[in-house]
Amino acid sequence: MTHWTPALVEERLAEAALILRRLPDPRRRGYFSTWPEIVHSFADKVGQEPKQMRVLPSPQAISRMEETLTWTGCLEPIDGKIVWMKAHGERWKEICYAVGLQRAAAHQHWAYGLSIIALTLNRQPVNRQLSKRKLIRLARGA
C-alpha cells in the first residue's frame, strides 16, 4: 500500500490529464459519411505535414485515470478546478484569471486540495476546522 503525499497526488493527476488528452475524440452515434474514401496521390502529398500519430494509452493507464477522476469529489469546487487546471499544465496566470484569485491564494488552494486528497487516500481524518496552512503542513509531514 502506498503512502500518499501531495507530490504523489500531483504526479498522478498530471498523468490522468495526459491520458485524457491521448484518448480518441468522442463521436456522435448515427452520423456517418457515404462518400468514398479520398485517395491522395504523391503529388497531393508533396509539401504537406505528416499527420501526428496518436498513441493510445494502455488499459492499466486508463484504469488509473478513471480512479484518479474520482479524487476531486471531496474538494470544494474552486479547489477542484484549480487542481485540475494545474494538472492539465495551465499557467498560474490563466488559473488566476479563471477563478478570480491572486496567485498566492490560488497556490494555497491548490496545495490545500492536494493535501486533502492525500489525507483522504491515506484514510486519515480530515479536520476541516484547521487552517489551510496547518492542514498542508500536516499532509506534508505525515
50-66 tens-digit pLDDT: 777 778 889 999 999 99
User: Over 90: is that where the pLDDT of 38 sits?
Assistant: no
Burial of 24 (C-beta count, 10 Å sphere; 0-12/13-18/19+): exposed
User: Over 70: is that where the pLDDT of 131 sits?
Assistant: yes
In which band, very low, low, confident or very high, does the pLDDT at 87 lie, cut at 50, 70 and 90? very high
pLDDT, greater one: 55 or 15: 15
Q: What single-letter DSSP state applies at residue 73?
A: G
User: Over 60: is that where the pLDDT of 1 sits?
Assistant: no
Amino acid in the structure at residue 104: A
Model pTM? 0.79
Q: What single-letter DSSP state applies at residue 74?
A: G
Rg (CA), the chain: 21
